[in-house]
Amino acid sequence: MNDASQTRLALVTGASRGLGFAVASALGAAGWHVIAVARTTGALEELDDRIQAAGGSTTLAPLDVTDDGAMAHLARSIADRWGRLDLWAHAAIHAAPLSPAGHLDPKDFDKSVACNLRATAALIPMLEPLLRASEGTALFFDDPRGGEKFFGAYGATKAAQIALARTWQAESEKIGPRVLIESPAPMATATRARFFPGEDRAALADIHAEAARMLAAL
């Protein structure tokens, strides 16, 4: 790893699969030091192998983003070690099973609120000072499903997350950090396969190509 004062630092929440995995992989290959957060240790180790093979470096953090104490400890550790954060890419999501609004499972809905909305609300104040310290960027990924049939839990909580991100974006326009909200093309992810079983995946975008396209905005 290069001198910490020269190395670009990226925190990727939800880094173990899908778009988060692709974003973390692309950043690592481009020379960023990636702090990768996800609950699945094995998947994080796979990410680490991929990034190291490309000549990059990682710090693996097998944590649940809904655990305020664990995430606050991580933020303090980043502050103590580096004193800043150049990028936060937030890809962590709970994709509840599709269901009519009249049959929503309360437990799944609570998980959706906890991961998609409340964790985001907790992480913003934790990470904002670190991002401001380096004039950094927070990157969110929109998936507008609000109001669609059977997407009650996912659509409502994802829409609320992006509404919160847009509020932060407006508030930070002059004082920082920069807040970007990107809209990925439909991608061949495991989450989408659960939402749309039987879909022709050959017509969907490759996650690594989409990650590269959106990171170009940085």
pLDDT in tens, 174-183: 999 999 999 9
Can you give the pLDDT at residue 180? 97
Answer yes or no: are the C-beta atoms of 8 and 32 closer than 8 Å: yes
**Count of CA atoms in the C-beta half-sphere (13 A) of 197:** 3
Judge whether residue 188 has pLDDT over 50: yes
Instruction: Record the tokens describing residue 173, joined without a space.
Output: 């326009």
In a domain, 146, yes or no: yes
Can you give the pLDDT at residue 218? 81
Number of domains in the chain: 1
Residue with tokens 């702090």: 35
Instruction: Record the tokens describing residue 190, joined without a space.
Output: 């495991």
Single-letter code of the amino acid located at 78 = I
Give me the domain span that covers residue 84: 9-215
Judge whether residue 144 has pLDDT over 70: yes
Judge whether residue 2 has pLDDT over 90: no
List Cβ neighbours of 91 (8 Å cut-off, separation of 6 or more). 12, 13, 14, 15, 18, 19, 20, 23, 141
List Cβ neighbours of 176 (8 Å cut-off, separation of 6 or more). 131, 132, 135, 136
Stretch 140-165: mean pLDDT, rounded?
96
In a domain, 4, yes or no: no
> Domain of 30: which CATH number?
3.40.50.720
Can you give the pLDDT at residue 77? 98
In a domain, 145, yes or no: yes
Can you give the pLDDT at residue 4? 53
Least confident of 110-114, 166-170, 200-204: 200-204
In a domain, 2, yes or no: no
In a domain, 1, yes or no: no
Residue with tokens 């609950």: 39
For the chain, give the percent of residues with pLDDT over 70.
Answer: 98
In a domain, 27, yes or no: yes
In a domain, 38, yes or no: yes
Judge whether residue 217 has pLDDT over 90: no
CA distances from residue 152 to 86, 100, 131, 158 in whole angstroms, order as listed: 34, 7, 33, 10
Can you give the pLDDT at residue 73? 98
In a domain, 118, yes or no: yes
